[in-house]
């Protein structure tokens, strides 16, 4: 089986476990009202209903409202899929033929070194089985996000040359 867990990481490097959202609405955390946080989504395998192996991490920076509430809106979902929808399955030739000006891809959200270390420590203390491969999984995910971003930029460069 597999499972997932949401975490918020505040600017002062405190980790908050977030209950699973219902209808794309996250429970408010009053302590974080009005703050920007790193939202981390952990995907993992389970054994006997307990997390056993980390599979993937997703990152996003979100700003909580004045009550510490976050709701995943349609606009945010579209923003999250923007790069994939615009550049995922297109050739430079197809991109060059578009009538609209070419735009750059949205840069990936990546944790800072301090945020990564905080997450490693949190996993070690609170979900130890996930901490064993966390550094490898996190670094691989960050590398993949960077690589994909560079590929999209190169795609745009080729399309611009074809337009000239």
pLDDT of residue 79: 87
Question: What domain range is 140 assigned to?
Answer: 2-163
How remote is the C-alpha of 106 from its chain's centroid? Answer: 12
Mean pLDDT value of segment 91-99: 93
Mean pLDDT value of segment 48-67: 94
pLDDT of residue 77: 84
Rg (CA), the chain: 18
Would you place residue 122 in the very low, low, confident or very high pLDDT band (cuts 50, 70, 90)? Answer: very high
- Give residues with Cβ within 8 angstroms of 16, minimum separation 6: 7, 8, 9, 10, 29, 31, 32, 37
Rounded to two decimals, what is the model's pTM? 0.88
pLDDT of residue 112: 97
pLDDT of residue 143: 98
102-137: b or e for each residue (b if 16 or more CB lie within 10 Å)? eeebeebebbeeebbebbeebbeeebebbbeebeeb
Tokens of 100: 């609209």
Number of domains in the chain: 1
| 151-163 pLDDT per residue, tens | 999 999 999 999 8
pLDDT of residue 72: 78
């Amino acid at each position: 089986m597999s499972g997932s867990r949401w975490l918020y990481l505040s600017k002062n490097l405190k980790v908050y476990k977030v209950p699973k959202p219902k209808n794309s609405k996250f429970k408010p955390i009053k302590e974080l009202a009005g703050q920007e946080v790193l939202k981390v989504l952990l995907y993992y395998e389970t054994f006997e209903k307990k997390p056993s192996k980390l599979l993937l991490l997703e990152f996003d920076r979100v700003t909580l409202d004045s009550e510490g509430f976050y709701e995943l809106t349609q606009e945010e979902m579209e923003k999250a899929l923007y790069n994939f929808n615009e550049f995922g399955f297109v050739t430079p030739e197809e991109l060059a033929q578009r009538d609209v000006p070419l735009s750059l891809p949205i840069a990936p959200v990546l944790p800072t070194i301090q945020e990564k270390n905080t997450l490693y420590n949190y996993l070690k203390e609170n979900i130890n089985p996930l901490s064993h491969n966390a550094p490898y999984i996190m670094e691989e995910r960050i590398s993949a996000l960077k690589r994909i971003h560079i590929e999209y930029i190169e795609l745009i460069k080729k399309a611009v040359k074809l337009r000239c």
